[in-house]
Amino acid sequence: MDLAPVPHGRRTQRAPALPVIDILWLTAGLSCDGDSIAMTAATQPSIEDLLLGMIPGLPEVRLHHPVLAYKTGKDFLQVFEQAAEGRLEPFILVVEGSVPNEKNKLDGCWAGFGTDRTTGQPIPTCDWIDRLAPHAWAVVAAGTCAAYGGIHAMVGNPTGCMGLPDYLGWKWQSKAGIPIVCVPGCPVQPDNFMETLLYLLRHAAGTAPAIPLDAQLRPAWLFAQTVHEGCDRAGYYEQADFASEYGARQCIVKLGCWGPVVQCNVGKRGWMTGIGGCANVGGVCIGCTMPGFPDKFMPFLNEPPGAKLSTTAVVTYGRTVRALRGFTRASLNKEPDWRTQ
Ligand code: SF4
Ligand code: SF4
Ligand code: SF4
């Protein structure tokens, strides 16, 4: 079938015969495999639902993941070789981990995947990306490292590593005309990743338009809001009620929370099956979804510079409103006078 992209906002006819789509997942960037682990906790949909064909109208999905595969060694690598030679289409390439700069040293490689049968040497991850990306129907960066470099790309690191858009180019498009899709997070929020994959599969099936991405190549609907806008503690912020120690229920901005300026839906979505979500459960937001992470958010656990100004600005309003609400609440906690007369 034709897997050409559909302009955003238009729907296509359901494909008469759905394709089989292979997902080739490279964990061999500079990575901790955290995004793979996170993905196994997804429920909307779960990876099992996708692989077992439990969701109607989707192509059959075959996942090739080094951590989850039964196959090992050259048997496992075979499908990657086929794809790199253009003999496996269509497939989605998922990259986890940042992409090192293999040109900044004389020998060796920073990251590799599999072994070259002729030389017996590791095959650099960059070589795989160079060979696979031109044949991929879509390329997805899983986690902040793959999207923007992340922790491994901190200033002073020797690998010169970067995210996929910096490596392939921010205007890069797959052969189907789909830009790199970045799903950041350290690790990625499980359902954010699976929902993005589901969207791409629906697009492949011809039942969804092209995926809407923002300027940082993130799925626009998932990253439009700040943590603050969906935080359970936002009411405390509005009333200028700030925690001075962990374990308190108030807003933790003075303990280092960057939520007001960080685009992430974890406050609303939670972490697993709707439960958790950093600031909601008492952990300051350290901005792990953002392209500037981690350098621009350090030192962690210090009050963000902008927070001093903004919290000072809300103090007068917040304390006044809190006091007035206290009076109103005291009144509302009593039955109307006429009931006791
Ligand atoms: Fe690990 Fe975080 Fe990088 Fe994912 S984004 S590979 S979880 S360090
Ligand atoms: Fe905003 Fe963070 Fe306070 Fe939540 S804890 S209300 S995200 S500043
Ligand atoms: Fe990362 Fe902040 Fe979102 Fe937590 S709330 S996942 S620290 S961006």
Task: Give the pLDDT confidence score for residue 12 in this predicted structure.
Answer: 39
Same domain, 147 and 246: no
User: For residue 340, is it within any domain?
Assistant: no
Distance 164 CA to ligand 1 centre (A): 14
Under DSSP, is residue 280 helix (H, G, I), strand (E, B) or coil? helix
Same domain, 199 and 236: no
Task: Give the pLDDT confidence score for residue 37 in this predicted structure.
Answer: 96
Report which bound ligand comes closest to the CA of 266.
3
Q: What is the CATH classification number for the domain harbouring 260?
A: 4.10.480.10
Last residue of a domain, one of 171, 204, 237: 204
User: For residue 6, is it within any domain?
Assistant: no
Same domain, 33 and 133: yes
User: For residue 10, is it within any domain?
Assistant: no
User: For residue 5, is it within any domain?
Assistant: no
Q: Which of 165, 167, 146 is nearest to 216 (CA)?
A: 165
Distance 307 CA to ligand 2 centre (A): 10
CB 96 within 8 A of CB 145: yes
* Residue 125 domain boundaries: 17-204
Same domain, 133 and 272: no
User: For residue 254, is it within any domain?
Assistant: yes
> Distances from the Cα of 82 to the Cαs of 111, 141, 264, 306, in angstroms?
21, 21, 37, 51
Task: Give the pLDDT confidence score for residue 69 in this predicted structure.
Answer: 94
Distance 228 CA to ligand 2 centre (A): 5
* Closest ligand 1 atom to Cα of 147: 5
**Residue-by-residue DSSP string for 18-81:** PPEEEEEEE--SB--SHHHHHHTT--TT-HHHHHTT-STT--EEEEE-TTT-S--HHHHHHHHH
* Closest ligand 1 atom to Cα of 186: 2
Same domain, 114 and 47: yes
Task: Give the pLDDT confidence score for residue 268 in this predicted structure.
Answer: 93
Task: Give the pLDDT confidence score for residue 17 in this predicted structure.
Answer: 61
Task: Give the pLDDT confidence score for residue 278 in this predicted structure.
Answer: 95
Distance 144 CA to ligand 3 centre (A): 11
Same domain, 232 and 193: no
User: For residue 259, is it within any domain?
Assistant: yes
Task: Give the pLDDT confidence score for residue 301 in this predicted structure.
Answer: 86
Q: What is the CATH classification number for the domain harbouring 100?
A: 3.40.50.700
Report which bound ligand comes closest to the CA of 248.
2
Q: Give me the number of domains the chain comprises.
A: 2
Give this prediction's pTM: 0.92
Which of 226, 285, 288 gets mutated to test ligand 2 (max ligand atoms within 8 A of its CB)?
285
* Closest ligand 3 atom to Cα of 263: 8
Q: What is the pLDDT along the chain (341 residues), one digit of tens a residue?
A: 334 444 444 443 444 466 799 999 999 989 999 999 999 999 999 999 999 999 999 999 999 999 999 999 999 999 999 999 999 999 999 999 999 999 999 999 999 999 998 999 999 999 999 999 999 999 999 999 999 999 999 999 999 999 999 999 999 999 999 999 999 999 999 999 999 999 999 999 999 999 999 999 999 999 999 999 999 999 999 999 999 999 999 999 999 999 999 999 999 999 999 999 999 999 999 999 999 999 999 999 888 988 888 888 899 999 999 999 999 999 999 999 999 87
* Closest ligand 2 atom to Cα of 285: 2
**Helix and strand numbers, DSSP H then E, in the chain:** 11, 7
CB 218 within 8 A of CB 141: no
- Cα first-last separation, the chain: 78
Distance 184 CA to ligand 1 centre (A): 9
CB 192 within 8 A of CB 152: no
